[in-house]
Amino acid sequence: MPASSSQPRHRLLVISNATLAGAELFREIRERADEAETEVLIVAPALSSRLHYWMSDFDDGVANAQARLERSLEHCAAAGITAHGQLGDAHPLQAIDDAMRVFQPDEIIIATHPPGRSNWLERDVVADARRRYHVPIVHVEVDSAHNDAHVVNPDAETRAT
């Protein structure tokens, strides 16, 4: 077993759905994981349509999440970011709960599509996570159509809701 460092590791949890495989999000991850002692866990919720959910057909959702997760880990490796990943529950807050139990992050990034295209924003996932968890939560809005990702100011979100 390697000797532990005198500096504690920074633990970064990233949860993202379809925005996960895009290069836009990795700029934000790289900014926060630029120190060698950062441990990154990426969680890809296994999403399925309502029809597939009611039919208990989760295979497509799991396969798509696995593919997004693998591309995400490849992007991280190419950027020099040490990361590991896991599939998560289709409900993002449950996926975060599950990851919190085993990973205990110092910071969470929640990546969503922009308003109007994001089910997670419509369901107030970011606001609910901020109320539920006592770690800093960064909301990254990923607009793949415009090759853009940016951190959303929490004050602006509060005013918008």
Question: Half-sphere exposure of 105 toward its Cβ, with a 13 Å CA cutoff?
Answer: 26
SS3 content of the chain, % helix, strand, coil (to 5): 45, 25, 30
2 within domain boundaries: no
pLDDT for residue 57 is more than 50: no
5 within domain boundaries: no
4 within domain boundaries: no
- Asked if 95 and 43 count as a contact pair (C-beta separation under 8 A), the reply is yes
Q: How many structural domains comprise the chain? A: 1
Provide the whole-model pTM.
0.80
3 within domain boundaries: no
Q: Domain range for residue 156?
A: 10-160
Considering only CA atoms, give the Rg of the chain: 16
137 within domain boundaries: yes
143 within domain boundaries: yes
pLDDT value of residue 36 = 61
d(CA 154, CA 36): 28
User: What is the tens place of the pLDDT at every residue in 138-147?
Assistant: 998 888 776 6
Q: Give the pLDDT mean for 29-54.
A: 72
User: What is the tens place of the pLDDT at every residue in 62-121?
Assistant: 788 888 888 888 888 887 888 899 998 888 999 999 999 999 999 999 999 888 888 899
User: Which CATH number does the domain housing residue 156 bear?
Assistant: 3.40.50.620
140 within domain boundaries: yes
1 within domain boundaries: no
pLDDT value of residue 38 = 86
